[in-house]
A and B are shown apart, each in its own frame.
Chain A
Amino acid sequence: MLPGVVALNAASGSVLWTYHTAVFFVLSQPVIVSNVLYLSEMAFDNSLRSATPDSKHTSDVLALRVTDGSVLRRYIPHSGKMFGAPMVSQHVLYLDIRLSAAKGQIPTAIVALDLETGMETWRSNQLQPFGGIDVIVSQGQIYAYSPWDYSPATLVVFQASNGNQLWNHPTNGYIYHVVADFN
C-alpha cells in the first residue's frame, strides 16, 4: 500500500475520501489551516542511508481540500529539496529546504512561499547543517531550530515578513523546545 491520507467521518467511522501518493513518498506531519490540509511529499533515495533527496521525483507540498480530498495545488520551491513538515501562517507557507552541498553536509534554509501565488517571497541565509528544522511562527517572527541530531544547536530568529535574521541563541547542546506563545 502506498502512503496516503484517509478521512473518516468521526461519528460513524465511514471513509469519506482517500488520497494516496503516486510513488513511495515519505509524508510529513499534516497541518490543517482554513479547511485545507497541507503535507509534504518527500522523495528520497532508495537506500535512505544518506538522507539524500531523490533526484527522480520532485518533492512538494500538497494542499488538499479537507471536505473532499481534492488536490487544490502543489507547492514546489524553485530550488533546493524540500524536507520536513510545512508550516502555514498568515497566508504564507514556510518550508525547510535542503541546499546543495558537499557530501556529508546538509545545509539548510527556510523558504517562504505565498499561499495564493506559490511564489517564493524570501529565502533565509544558509543555516548550519541542521538535521531537520522545526519552525515556529509567532508575533511576526520565525523561530527555527533543530531538535534532531546536530549539536550544539542554535535557535535562529527571523523577521517573518522579509526573512531578515534578527538574533540567534547558540547553545552548548540540543534544543528541545521553544515556546513563543504563552497565551
Chain B
Amino acid sequence: MDKKKIIIVEDDEFLRSLSAKKLEDEGYQIIVATDGQSAIDLIPKELPNLIFLDLLLPGVDGFEVLKQIKANEQTKNIPVVVFSNLGQEEDIKKAKDLGANDFLVKANFTLDDVVAKIKEILK
C-alpha cells in the first residue's frame, strides 16, 4: 500500500524537522515547504493527502496559501490542519471560514496530539 503523503508548511526549522521525523516514524511520506510561495507551488504538483500548515510564514502567509489551495479544483478537497502561533477567536474563525479542517494553537498541543489529529483525519 502506498504511503500517505503529508506536506508540512512551517518556517521554524526545529518544529519542522521534529514533526517531519515523528510523522515519518508513523509511516507517512513527508514533504516540507519552508515558506508560503513554495507551498503554493508544491501542493498542486504533489497532491498530498493532507496539508499541515503554519499561518505566520515569510512572504505569502498561511491564510493566502489556504485561499489558493481552496480556489484550485485539484487541491480544494485536501484536508488542511492549521498549526499556528495565532489563536485568537478571529484567527481561528478566519482559517475555518477559508476551509481549514482543524486549528491547533502551537504550544497548546504536544506532537502526539498533532499526530492523533492527523491520523483521525486520514483514517
Q: Do A and B come from one complex?
A: no
